[in-house]
Amino acid sequence: MAKTAITPTRADDYPEWYQQVIKAADLAENSDVRGCMVIKPWGYSIWENIQHVLDGMFKATGHENAYFPLFIPMSFLQKEADHVEGFAKECAVVTHHRLAPGPDGKLVPASPLEEPLIVRPTSETIIGSTYARWVESYRDLPILINQWANVVRWEMRTRLFLRTAEFLWQEGHTAHATAEEAVEETMKMLGVYADFAENWMAMPVIKGEKTAGERFPGAVNTYAIEGMMQDRKALQAGTSHFLGQNFSKAQQIKFQDQAGQQQFAWTTSWGVSTRLVGALIMTHSDDDGLVLPPRLAPKHIVLLPIYRSPEERAQVLPYVESLKKELEAQDFAGGKVRAMIDDRDIRGGEKNWYHVKRGVPLRAEIGPKDIAKNGVFLARRDTGEKAGVERSALVATIAQRLDEIQNNLFQRALQLREENTRTIDTLDDFLAYFTPQDADKPEIHGGFALCHFSEGAELDALLKEHKVTIRCIPLAGNDEAGRCFLTGRESKKRAVFAKAY
RNA sequence: CGGGGUGUAGCACAGCCUGGCUAGUGCGCUUGGUUUGGGACCAAGAGGUCGCAGGUUCAAAUCCUGUCACCCCGACCA
């Protein structure tokens, strides 16, 4: 049996494997604050790449960045009934504005605030109230703004990247003069997310609409992209909401239209978070650790000089340094190739595994033997393939090689999803699909089930019992009517059912 | 908020039931040597108010009381 860098393997214990990959790749760790993570340089660098690319896509679709306060007056949250209900249970609340020594000398909060502030769990209310001041005429619309920020949701149970009390994200908030325009914006940004997921993260996603039960608190419609992780569970990777006039009415975003009538604006909001890093890990990584799609990898290739003596070092290092410069002059994915040299004084095997676990797409070992042949010994992270490559050929083909890895990762993920997606029309099949063989230690089972359905108490009870959720109603290829697999009631569209994160 | 568990070196743990000398083991770290193209070996070192507070005792990591923190299982969730 081949030794794997990560213990346990995915098949043995997927959740534990996930934690170990993060640890081995040095992406993040738990902090001294309950539920909050420290994102370490390698992990943050991936987030920076995500930010950079998405930011470009937002700008290209006409959006600008701005920044709104971290604190929201408690009364703001209260203005939209569903919104309050959705978020009130998980808010961090600021009630005081200074500390003072207590009777026993320990610091205690002093000077209560007149109105408590909540730390934003999302910014619809504070941004909406700002827009209300900005908008008077139809000429002030649309407002197309995005903010990169942190938000806090006091969750009961947390997991690195997937669900933390504080997380980083972007939230787009737009206001429009007509419903049609706002709906178009909602769908456009859903498209941007799907494009990013598939072409940059190499993660195939299903675009769909959320059912009423899964809708964002206060939204008219919520759309999402859903990906399948390697344990066949679903992960929501991005959401786009059509908010109708719910928030504009609550926050009084009013404008005078061309006919001189007062109208409420139509708003949208959309976001993705550091959860994408979790999605990336669970989509591609293997039992030797992280596997990164080249387009988002902090480094595309690591050069590993090999030598035994100072004399060999003097020969190898200049060779490696000049190769690094040549590689970095090559174009890839709208930028340059990102190369690094690891010349640390540690053993070759250990150093190699270090980069395997961190998911660097390509590793090149370069020693005196390679230099004699004017080449490198190249290893591919996704397939494990290794071969000698001539130096100039490597430089000439580096971008193409990275593209191949990018495509391979996407195809591999797509194949997994297709192999584990089923059309299901009967309750028996549904139960068989979602019931593990071993209830005590559930094996990886199930996947996506495409089913006709009818929302209601019966379905809710069944889903709750089996820990299955309705992920979304796919937008594409979903036009054939049928009957609910549970109740037999008529159903216009199928939904994706799956166990989920 | 219910049920269970754990706090001992940077990390993972043993020791506690049955109190006893300068509190151990592995990994990691430092130094020296032998090694080196897929996770080396030998040797010598550094590193701990045993979560915190109080109590019992000649003597507490160990027993008692209180307290805090964290983890796991549920309900909640991007």
What would the pLDDT profile of A165-178 be if each residue is shown by its tens digit?
A: 899 999 999 999 99
Cβ contact A162 with chain B strand, < 7 A: yes
Mean pLDDT of A58-83: 93
More confident residue, A85 or A233: A233
The pLDDT of residue A83: 86
Mean pLDDT of all residues in chain A?
Answer: 93
Task: Name the residues in A190-219 having a C-beta closer than 7 Å to nucleic acid strand B.
Answer: 214, 216
Q: Is the pLDDT score of A116 beyond 80?
A: yes
Q: Which of the four pLDDT bands, split at 50, 70 and 90, describes residue A1?
A: very low
Q: For strands A339-341 and A301-305, give the pairing.
A: parallel
User: Does the C-beta of A362 come within 7 A of strand B?
Assistant: no
Q: Strand B: which residues 57-96 of A lie within 7 A (CB)? A: 89-90
Q: What is the DSSP code (8-state) at residue A3?
A: P
Closest residue to B73 (CA, C1′): A157
Identify nearest nucleotide to residue A216 by CA to C1′ distance: B78
In whole angstroms, B74 C1' to A32 CA is 25
Chain A 405..434 CB hits on strand B (< 7 A) = none
Nucleotide nearest to A353 (CA to C1'): B39
Which chain A residues in 139-158 sit with Cβ < 7 A of strand B? 153, 155-158
Cα(A401)–Cα(A165) distance, integer angstroms: 39
Mean pLDDT of A222-249: 95
Establish whether the CB of A125 is closer than 7 Å to any nucleic acid atom in strand B.
Answer: no
**pLDDT band for position A2 (50/70/90)?**
low
Q: Is pLDDT of A274 > 60?
A: yes
CA A273 – C1' B8 distance (Å)? 39
Reply yes or no on whether the pLDDT at A104 is more than 70: no
SS3 label, residue A287: coil
Q: What is the mean pLDDT of residues A328-333?
A: 98
Give the pLDDT of residue A310. 85
Torsional sign, CA A214, A217, A220, A225: negative
- Distance (Å, whole) CA A214 – CA A222: 8
The alpha helices in A101-245, defined as continuous H runs, are: 124-134, 179-199
Which nucleotides of strand B lie under 7 Å from a protein CB?
Answer: 1, 36-40, 69-78
What is the reported pTM?
A: 0.96
- In this predicted structure, the answer to whether residue A233 has a pLDDT above a threshold of 70 is yes
Å between A12 CA and B18 C1'? 40
Q: Is the CB of A131 under 7 A from strand B?
A: no
Q: Tens digit of pLDDT for each residue in A411-441?
A: 999 999 999 999 999 999 999 999 888 777 7
- Check if residue A171 sits with its Cβ under 7 angstroms from strand B: no
Number of alpha carbons in the 13 Å side-chain half-sphere of residue A194: 18
